Structure 1
Amino acid sequence: MNRHFSIICIGILLLLLCGHTFAHKASDSYLRFKVGDGIIQGQWDIALRDLDYAIGLDSNGDGRITWGELRARHHAVTEYVFSRLKVRSIDARCWHQAPEHLVDHHTDGAYAVLRFAMTCPDATNTFEVAYDLLFDLDPLHRGLLQVDHDGQIQTGVLSPEQRKIRVDFENPAPWREFLQFGKEGVWHIWIGFDHILFLISLLLPAVLCWQTGRWLPQHSLRLALWEVLKIVTAFTIAHSITLCLAVLGFVSLPSRWVESVIAASVLVAALHNLYPIIHTRLWIMTFFFGLIHGLGFASVLIDLGLPGQSLAIALAGFNLGVEAGQVVIVGIFVPLAFLLRRTRFYQRYMLNFGSVLIAVIAFIWLMERSMALDFGLWA
């Protein structure tokens, strides 16, 4: 029974690690509408790396997309993206005019910017947006929508599960936006494998105690849960602080620097399980690195550029979603770890081998992010 249970648990761990190893990095596009007088003024920001993956932009294959290469594919870009965006008023479909092509930089790289207008006589207060960009190529892709109508803002998140959003300024429902961004927060941490591996690296020794130069099983469930609570609380408070500060514009650091330090935090946490230095106050290290992880969470909302009340709704929903996703991970992992803590399997394979494997993956991420390399291990 114990052997089979152990095999199942290590299988879950390996699936988690391997699933991330071959996963594509999640992508977002940013779609902004300004509605007035039967015309929708639009701006659509799409990552150049996503367009290159979808239709090919890098004609000479040197790994860099120049303005000349993008300009040569303007017509192809227009055809591709607008075949995957439909806006419909009550009675008829809206038609777009030829877009203006620009380039801008977001926190995660260069984006093609398409500015356009849509003729939509009946789309004054109510219309529907149907979005299907990249879903066939990247199921992790999200379209982040912002609609401005005479200063009133509505937002939404388009995904493979929700490809249509009804915009209704006559009957606004802020709770829907809250739930959408809450769901996005849950999804964001579940696909944020660097955040997950950091948390698991910290939780692996939480059901053990360091005595006589080695890890021994924790005898008390109460003490184990207390250790878990301190770690999770420190991580939650820390990343919530910097998430809010970054989204509100008080803190801004280069994305490459932030992502590199996040990778380093995973590496340090995994190596600490093998050569522990901090034996009783692991929450201090957790809090310090949690501040950096919060900056990583913030990029989605920063690039959306929401004002006022919409920002507060999105930030609250997103942050609570992140916490809910984190609670699910902890709730699944900790009971299994506590049941297995006395087994040789847990200490040799889950703690030691698992930490080595996490450290190797984190080291590769660190090299990729800090030196702009690509080993094909997306994170």
Structure 2
Amino acid sequence: MRWQVALLWLAACLLANPAQAHKPSDSYLALAVDGRAVNGQWDIALRDLDFAIGLDANGDAAITWGEVKAKHAEIDAYALARLRLGSDGADCPTQVTDHLIDDHTDGAYAVIRFRADCPAPVGVLEATYRLFFDIDPQHKGLLRLEYGGAASTAVFTPEKASQRFTLEKPSALGQFLDYGREGVWHIWIGFDHILFLLALLLPAVAYRQAGKWEAVAAFRPAFVSVLKIVTAFTIAHSITLSLATLKLISLPSRLVESTIAASVVAAALNNVFPLFRERRWAMAFLFGLIHGFGFASVLADLGLPQQALALALVGFNLGVEAGQLAIVAVFLPIAYLLRRTAFYRRLVLIGGSLLIAALAAVWLAERAFDLKLLTF
């Protein structure tokens, strides 16, 4: 019974926030330090600003440039009251210089450009970030900091709202680890990626005979099945992640996100109406190519240091693999122990696959037709 509860708990965690299927609430803060001046650009999702201060004046569920422009002063006041920049204990007063709108992979963002002037040349930059933390504790601020031709990254969370940055050229190891952590984090909060992988892994501890799922007799066949799937997925998304990051191939964001949702539907339904049967590794490779474009969009949003492009790319990709292997390491032993139970074969394997397919079908409709069906 303990293993059944554990598996249900794992499934609940994976489905805990389905409305944010691919990207949770993030903002993108870019700072460039030059002597006493700090030039910044802050991209904040319109949907988050609408929730916080209300942008949709006429309530038609479509935020226009006019509605955003009318709220510029309120947006500035709200955002900048939640960002403090300083140096040597002294504040660096901030002034907005421009407003724009930009499209990210998950929708439109308000762009605030600003300049902060510090009392003296900045040696150590102090930053406190508290945007949306009071209304969304899952929100993150993704920082890209440039100084002297080098770039580094950081993440603001409620637990790490205040950070200090010594302005020196970041080490290659530091950049590698920064992007590695981002890769791990992205796979863990990328619910569509997780559910695609989970849908492929659910049958790994079983085989189909006479139209029914039966438990495998030993651990080795299950492990080999998982190894094939994970390897195929890794090779495929590594190929397209690299090609997209190097700007050799580019696909429209809506096409990529819609196809990712469709891949989750296909992988889940394959467990109920087998098409690929034991060739799930082929499905992992085929759709893994599309998932790689999804990973690339996140990496692009983080900003890539051109002087260490290959290092950042490898670090992020290895982080994705580490996060993926951590999920497999938790799932496989539990699934193997439960494989002989009707609970696993009927409720988890079949019922779970149908639930995943239904949820992903909603994502597909939302992404393909620009709808908002899930509001929780």
Per the shorter chain, which TM-score range? over 0.9
Counterparts in 2 of 1:340 and 1:54: CA distance versus 1, 3 Å? same
TM-score when normalising by structure 2 = 0.93
* Structure 2 unaligned blocks of 5 or more: none
Tell me the equivalent position of 2:356. 358
In the alignment, the residues of structure 2 paired with residue 325 and residue 205 of structure 1 have an alpha-carbon distance, to the nearest angstrom, of: 21
Tell me the equivalent position of 1:231. 229
Tell me the equivalent position of 2:324. 326
Deviations 1:244-292 (A, max 9, x none): 2222222221221111111111111111001112233221111111111
Is it true that 1:19 corresponds to 2:16 in the alignment?
yes
Counterparts in 2 of 1:178 and 1:163: CA distance versus 1, 3 Å? farther
Deviations 1:277-310 (A, max 9, x none): 2233221111111111121122222123323234
Q: Report if the CA contact (8 A) 2:125-2:164 is conserved.
A: yes
The DSSP-based 3-state class of the residue aligned with 1:103 is strand
Tell me the equivalent position of 2:115. 117
Question: Counterpart amino acid of 2:58?
Answer: N
Q: Report if the CA contact (8 A) 1:132-1:163 is conserved.
A: yes
Which one is further off, 183-192 or 163-172?
163-172
Tell me the equivalent position of 1:95. 93
Is it true that 1:74 corresponds to 2:63 in the alignment?
no
The structure 2 residue matched to 1:219, chosen from 217, 220, 240, is 217
Runs of 4+ in 1 over 6 A off after TM superposition: none
Measured after TM superposition, the shift of residue 9 of structure 1 is 4.2
Tell me the equivalent position of 2:153. 155
Is it true that 1:8 corresponds to 2:5 in the alignment?
yes
Matches within 5 A, 1:1-379: 4-5=1-2, 7-9=4-6, 11-16=8-13, 18-21=15-18, 25-170=23-168, 172-376=170-374
Counterparts in 2 of 1:37 and 1:17: CA distance versus 1, 3 Å? closer
Measured after TM superposition, the shift of residue 14 of structure 1 is 4.6
Counterparts in 2 of 1:258 and 1:159: CA distance versus 1, 3 Å? same
Q: Report if the CA contact (8 A) 1:42-1:116 is conserved.
A: yes
In the alignment, the residues of structure 2 paired with residue 227 and residue 55 of structure 1 have an alpha-carbon distance, to the nearest angstrom, of: 50
Measured after TM superposition, the shift of residue 213 of structure 1 is 3.5
The DSSP-based 3-state class of the residue aligned with 1:273 is coil
Which one is further off, 115-124 or 227-236?
115-124
In the alignment, the residues of structure 2 paired with residue 150 and residue 21 of structure 1 have an alpha-carbon distance, to the nearest angstrom, of: 41
Counterparts in 2 of 1:214 and 1:233: CA distance versus 1, 3 Å? same
* Structure 1 unaligned blocks of 5 or more: none
In the alignment, the residues of structure 2 paired with residue 121 and residue 243 of structure 1 have an alpha-carbon distance, to the nearest angstrom, of: 43
Counterparts in 2 of 1:22 and 1:40: CA distance versus 1, 3 Å? closer
In the alignment, the residues of structure 2 paired with residue 331 and residue 130 of structure 1 have an alpha-carbon distance, to the nearest angstrom, of: 36
The DSSP-based 3-state class of the residue aligned with 2:207 is strand
In the alignment, the residues of structure 2 paired with residue 297 and residue 104 of structure 1 have an alpha-carbon distance, to the nearest angstrom, of: 19
Measured after TM superposition, the shift of residue 108 of structure 1 is 2.5
Alignment coverage as a number of residue pairs:
375
Measured after TM superposition, the shift of residue 182 of structure 1 is 2.3
Q: Report if the CA contact (8 A) 2:30-2:40 is conserved.
A: yes
Q: Report if the CA contact (8 A) 2:270-2:277 is conserved.
A: no
Name the % identity: 54
TM-score when normalising by structure 1 = 0.92
Question: Counterpart amino acid of 2:16?
Answer: G
